[in-house]
Structure 1
Amino acid sequence: MIRRILAVVGGIITGSLAIWLMETLGHYLYPLPKGIGPNNMAEFKEYVSNLPFPALLLVIVGYALGAVVSGFISTKIGKDGKNRYALICGVFFLLATIYNMVVLPTPIWFWILGIVVWILVLVGYRLALNKKTI
């Protein structure tokens, strides 16, 4: 039972780190304007609504990386070959993504990719099952 919980927690933590790394890169490439902080929601929404396509795509790439990493790590920790840990991680991140898309102004293509990308937890799951991987 503990291993199952740790599998999901480990997948969520490592997936979050992967997303954070990509979003940090995005903030480096597309920094917040001076005087605007992420705690001021009105200003932050304005910033997000004016982001160029590559900046938003970088967020989707971060989600994709997070999905694969969380699926992989949760499966490796689970050690029973079942995809349930990856799927639980995927549902968790999907709900968080939907919340973010509701709160922040994002275009329709971002909504579509932001939802579909979480199926990539199953790619991480499959990679974890491959005996040739780490």
Structure 2
Amino acid sequence: MARRIIGTIIGILVFGLATTLVQLLGHMLYPPPPGVDMRNAAEVARIAASIPVSAKLIVLLAYLVGGAAGAFAALRLSRWSPSAWIVLALAWAGNVLNLMAIPHPLWMAIGSFIAPLIGVLLAQRLARTG
């Protein structure tokens, strides 16, 4: 039981770390304008609306990589198939909060749910526990 809990928690943390690292890469490629307060939701929403499609695709890539890395870590450590789905459920919960805070184009909103799902499915194949 402890293995399942710890493995799942580590998977969740790996999801967050992997997603953050890919998004940091996106910020390096497409830096926000100087002086922007990233804690100001209105400012972030304004910037998000103006970024190029390629920058938005990096965000979806972050969700894909995060889903795959987090689920893989959870599956390998917990040796329990539902751990991957728990990682995905929390990723989706975070997406809902993000979509409520920052307006997204419809295609990106849909993609933010599909990308981590694909990542989890890939992780299950790689971990061979699904």
Taking the aligned partners of 1:41 and 1:15, their CA distance within structure 2 comes to 23
User: Residue 84 of structure 2 aligns with which residue?
Assistant: 86
What is the number of residues matched between the two proteins?
128
User: Residue 44 of structure 1 aligns with which residue?
Assistant: 44
Give the TM-score normalised by structure 1: 0.90
**Which amino acid is 1:129 matched to?**
R
Residue by residue over 1:76-99, the C-alpha shift from the partner in whole angstroms, topping out at 9 and shown as x without a partner, is 0012xx420000000000110121
Paired-residue identity, %: 30
**Which amino acid is 2:81 matched to?**
N
Query: What is the SS of the residue equivalent to 2:36?
Result: coil
Q: Is the 8 A contact 1:72 1:126 kept in 2?
A: no
What is the root-mean-square deviation of aligned Cα atoms in Å? 1.3
Structure 1 gaps of 5+ residues are none
Taking the aligned partners of 2:63 and 2:37, their CA distance within structure 1 comes to 23
Give the TM-score normalised by structure 2: 0.92
Residue by residue over 1:110-131, the C-alpha shift from the partner in whole angstroms, topping out at 9 and shown as x without a partner, is 011111122221221221128x
1:103 corresponds to which of 85, 101, 124? 101
Residue by residue over 1:58-79, the C-alpha shift from the partner in whole angstroms, topping out at 9 and shown as x without a partner, is 0000100011111111000012
Moved more, 29-38 or 50-59: 29-38
State how 1:7-86 maps to structure 2 within 5 Å: 7-79=7-79, 82-86=80-84
1:40: Cα distance to partner?
A: 1.7
Taking the aligned partners of 2:39 and 2:70, their CA distance within structure 1 comes to 28
